[in-house]
Amino acid sequence: MKALVCYNPKSGKQKLSNKLEYVKTELEKKYDAVDIYATTGPQALTEHLREVARDYDLVLISGGDGTLNEAVTGLIEGNAKDTALSYIPAGTCNDVGSMLHLKKRIKKALANTLNGERVRMDICRANEKCFAYVCGSGKFIDIAYATPHKLKKRIGKAAYFLYGAKELAARKKMHLKLTFDGKIVEGDYYVALALNSDHVSGFHIRRRQKVKLNDGIIDLTLIESKGILSWHRLLNFVIFGDKNIFKYHTEHYHVSNLKIESAEPVEYTVDGEYAFKTEECNISLLKEAVTMIVPMKSKKKYFMN
C-alpha cells in the first residue's frame, strides 16, 4: 500500500513541515511506501492529485479549509473515490476539522489516520467548482478571503470580526430567483448559503434536523434584505441556527440541487475562498464522492449507515 503526505507550508500555524520524518516513519508502519508533497501555490495540490491520487491508498493533507477544498477537488477530478483522505487542520477556522473533531496535534492526528473510520462523504459542486461544506453569496460572505492573511495568522478568528466590521455600513441586496426540487422562490436577499455542514466561519450552526454528510441533502439558508437591521438576522442565524426564535425573514430549505439566478452578477465563495462572479449558479451534489477518515464518534454523529 502507498501513502502520500501533502501540506501547505503557508497555512495557519503549520506544524507538519517540522515533523515530516516522524510522520513518514509512523505511516511506514502500515504503508509500504510514503511520498511527500509540498504545495507550491494556488491549485497546485488539485493539479497534483488529479494526476497521481489513484496511485495511492491514502492521501494525508495538512492545511486550512482552502487546502481541503483543493484536495477534494483533485480527488474527484482524478476519479480517486477509493483513495482515503485524512485531514490535519492547520488553518484559521478549520470548519470541517472542527465539525469532524479532527485533531491538530500531529501524534493524535496520525492515530486517527492509522486507526480511524473510513466513510463516504457527499461533495457539492457550484458550476465547475467543488466545495466540501459551503457555497455562499451576499454580505460578509467574502470575509474569509478578503481578510489579510497576515492578520489571520497573527490574531486568528478575531481578524474576521475586525475586518467584518467594515461590512456593516455597506448595503448588499441581491434579487435572486431560486429553483429547486420543483419549487421557485424569488425575492431580495442579504445572504444565501448552501451548506453541507453545521460549521461556518468558525461558528457551530445549530440545526433542528441533524446534519448528515452522506444523505444527498444540501441545507439552503436565505436571509431576506429588509432594511438596515438585516444583519441582525445573520447574527441570529450564526448564534441560533434554524432554532432561532426570531425566524421572520429567514428561510430554510432541504434541497438536492439548486439553480440561483440573479438580476446582476453576484460574487460566490466556496469553502471560504472566492470562486466566481456570475448571474447563474447551479449547485449539485455528488453523493458519497470522497472517502474520508474520521473518528468513530464523528462517524456515528454525521454519517448514515
Percent helix / strand / coil, the chain, rounded to 5: 30, 40, 30
Same domain for 143 and 253? yes
Closest CA to 67 of 126, 119, 28, 16: 16
**Residue 154, domain extent:** 129-285
Closest CA to 125 of 289, 285, 281, 259: 285
What's residue 75's pLDDT? Answer: 98
Tens-level pLDDT at each residue, the chain (305 residues): 999 999 877 654 556 777 889 999 999 999 999 999 988 888 999 999 999 999 999 999 998 888 899 999 999 999 999 999 999 998 767 889 999 999 999 999 999 999 999 999 999 999 999 999 999 998 656 555 455 556 555 655 555 555 555 555 555 689 999 999 999 999 999 889 999 998 877 777 777 788 999 999 999 989 888 765 555 666 666 665 665 544 557 888 999 999 999 989 999 999 988 899 999 999 999 999 999 999 999 999 999 98
List of residues 6+ apart from 182 with CB closer than 8 A: none
Are 58 and 35 in contact by the 8 Å Cβ rule? The answer is: no
Residue 223 in domain: yes
**142 is written with which cell numbers?**
467574502
Phi, psi torsion values for 26, nearest 5 degrees: -65, -45
- Whole-model pTM: value is 0.85
Phi, psi torsion values for 33, nearest 5 degrees: -140, 140
Domain count, the chain: 2
Residue 123 in domain: no
Same domain for 140 and 35? no
Same domain for 86 and 143? no
Closest CA to 45 of 26, 25, 73, 22: 73
